[in-house]
A and B are shown apart, each in its own frame.
Chain A
Amino acid sequence: MKEIINESPKIKKTLAYLEDFIDTEHGELHENVETLLNDYKKKLHRLYLIIKQSDNKQLQLMKLNEELDKYKNNLEQKVEEEILKRREKEEMLLKQSRMAAMGEMIDAVAHQWLQPINIISLQSSILDEIFKRGKLDKDYIVNFQSKIQKQITHMSDTLNTFRNFVRPSTKISTFDVDKMISKVLLLVEDEFINNRINIETNVVKDFRLSGNENEFIHLIINIINNAKDAFNEKNINDRKITINILDNDNIKSIELIDNAGGIPLDVINDIFKANVTTKEDGKGTGIGLYMSSLIAQKYNGILSVENVENGAKFTFSIY
């Protein structure tokens, strides 16, 4: 059989071709296959690196997401902390503002007390003279007691109003606005008389407010004290503050109008922001109107301002 194969010319030719192929072509094929294989290995390795790099990036993104989740979870706590900080800051500002107002009110109380003390002193000093003249009868004593009691009541009222104002209070009540304004006037009356300021109150239609009355007293005092300072700084002669209490179509408002020259236009839009003052350097804290605005907001009210003829008009409105 082997011989037959060897003898066949066709097979001989084929074998010769194969021998030739193995000697020449196979080497080239081998080289080509090896090159392809190396290229494939290189590309496979790169693909592995690309996938590894991609995995690393994905891992990094997952870590960042975890951090983001933690941050989100802490956000609520941070918001609460910030609210607390802000509340503390506002309380501090309120305290500062109250202290500033207190200084002025101590002056006011002193002024308020001067006149009754003088009257009591006068009544007391003439008592022995009346006795010597034999006029010290029962009627005189009743009349004397009445006069002295009236002065003491006036002093006591002044002091109580002052004490109620300076004592930090969270007491919420419903009160008449015109009575609240009367308390304000009682506190500042003499001080304003000394500064030749006429205060006129028009109760067009009274209404009641719910809240901490002292805070509203504070709001009003801040505004009228600013007017007093403006009158003095600008040396204005005819000084007038008008307070209107109105209740129109469910809009309740208190208007405080002065003729102290108005607020400069470059600051009027920022006048309720903290640290904004129109007063001379060192004379204003920039707290008073900011606090007044906060008090208004606390009771869902709005405090606004506009310049009117010869002065400024502040309006506290509540719907």
Chain B
Amino acid sequence: MSVLIKEKTEYTPRIVMDSNKHLIDIEGDSFPENTYDFYRPMMDWINSYFSTVYNEITTVNIEINYFNSSSSQLFFDFFDILEESVKNGSKIVINWIYVAKNESTLEAGEDFCEEFEILNINMIEKQVV
């Protein structure tokens, strides 16, 4: 059981991965200098996590307002892992959180919903006061 935390920066999101709580949180903007280097610990952690988790429901919250194309590509890989895990019996709830006026993030979430029909992706609109 492990916890991985990466603090938010101007260009990268805050990442919290807690195997005790069965929780994955990604929040912020994503423009890393090297996307694959930045996300590698997260991808390693997630591969390791889903090889050990069985009946528990894992919650994945993703709130990314702005992201570059290499981040977009990485999210496809990320969802591939989740899809594979669901096929292997894992129970995952995914919340794609977007700010009401941010249409491009809404559309990106819809793309992921269509591309990964097997996954349970909830589109959650967030109101900003």
Residues of A within 8 A of B (CB): 45-46, 49-54, 56-57, 59-60
Contacts and interface: CB of A to CB of B under 8 A. Distances in A.
Contacts of B107: 52-53, 56
Contact of A59 (B73, B76, B104): B104
B102 A53 contact: no
Nearest to B107: A56
A45 B73 CA distance: 12
Contacts of A53: 69, 72, 104, 107-108, 111
B72 A56 contact: no
Contact of B76 (A46, A52, A57): A46
Contact of B111 (A49, A59, A60): A49
Contacts of A54: 68-69, 72
A139 B115 CA distance: 120
B104 A46 contact: no
Which applies to chain B's interface (DSSP): helix, strand, loop or mixed? helix
B125 interface: no
Contacts of A57: 66-68, 104
Q: Which bucket holds chain B's interface residue count?
A: 10 to 19
B104 A56 contact: yes
Given A54-B72, A56-B104, A56-B107, A46 B115 contact: yes
Given A46-B115, A52-B111, A60 B73 contact: no
B84 interface: no
Interface in B44-68: 66-68
Interface string B70-113: 00110010000000000000000000000000111001100100
Does more than half of chain A's interface fall in helix, strand or loop, or is it mixed?
helix
A49 B115 contact: yes
A50 B72 contact: yes
5 closest A-B pairs by CB: A56-B104, A54-B69, A50-B72, A60-B104, A53-B108
Interface centre among B67, B104, B107, by most A CB within 10 Å?
B104
Contacts of B76: 46, 49-50
B115 to A, nearest CB: 7
A60 B102 contact: yes
A51 B104 CA distance: 12
Nearest to A49: B111
B69 A46 contact: no
Given A57-B66, A57-B67, A50 B104 contact: no
A53 B67 CA distance: 9
A53 to B, nearest CB: 5
Contacts of B108: 53, 56
17 contacts: A45-B115, A49-B72, A49-B76, A49-B115, A50-B72, A50-B73, A52-B107, A53-B69, A53-B72, A53-B107, A53-B108, A54-B68, A54-B72, A56-B104, A56-B107, A59-B104, A60-B104
A46 B67 contact: no
